[in-house]
Amino acid sequence: MPRKRTSAAQPVTHSKAQLRAFRKRFRDVPFLQLLKMRVDEIGDGAVTVSMPIQPQIRQYLGVAHGGALSSLADTAATFACLTILPLGTEVVTIEFKFNFLEPVAKRRAVAVARVLRLGGRTAVVEATVTEAGVNKPACVGLFTMAVLRPKSDSDQESS
């Protein structure tokens, strides 16, 4: 029987303990602390993550640096996957395509990421970055993530 593929549309129930653990995991990443990112919303296969546009992340024209915006989107894509994967499963980005459409110059950038396809070894996620209060995409990205499932006891014995 072929392996069943899942999508972000499948409902997942998160307990309060799971949500606390998810938020703690997010808070414990030093790079995310450096950029002052925060999780605003957690859904099933989707998250909203935002960060302030600090002077340290502005480029020479005074707008948010593309590297900071792509880091925000990548972080949202990673955590969107984690909302629908079993505990102990990890994801890492293996490729992304990112388009810059509008500058982000004001107070806050907001990334909304949604899992489009979750397979056995990879996931595909889309992320859109907007400027807070502006209903127009500033950046859009498509991310391919490697799904790193924990090894079973039998896998570890044979290696």
pLDDT digits (tens, 9 = 90+) for 39-77: 999 999 999 999 999 999 999 999 999 999 999 999 999
Please give the C-alpha separations between residue 89 and each of 21, 135, 152, in angstroms, as whole numbers: 14, 34, 12
Summarize pLDDT for 96-112 with one digit per residue, the tens.
999 999 999 988 999 99
3-state secondary structure 65-95: CHHHHHHHHHHHHHHHHHCCCCCCCEEEEEE
Q: Going from the N-terminus, what domains does the chain have, and what CATH number goes with each?
A: 16-158 (3.10.129.10)
Residue 104, both tokens: 């982000």
Residue 117: pLDDT over 60: yes
| pTM of the predicted model as reported, rounded to 2 decimal places | 0.85
Residues forming beta bridges with residue 47, ordered by sequence position? 42, 113
Classify the C-alpha dihedral 80-81-86-91 as positive or negative.
Answer: negative
The pLDDT assigned to 12 comes to 55
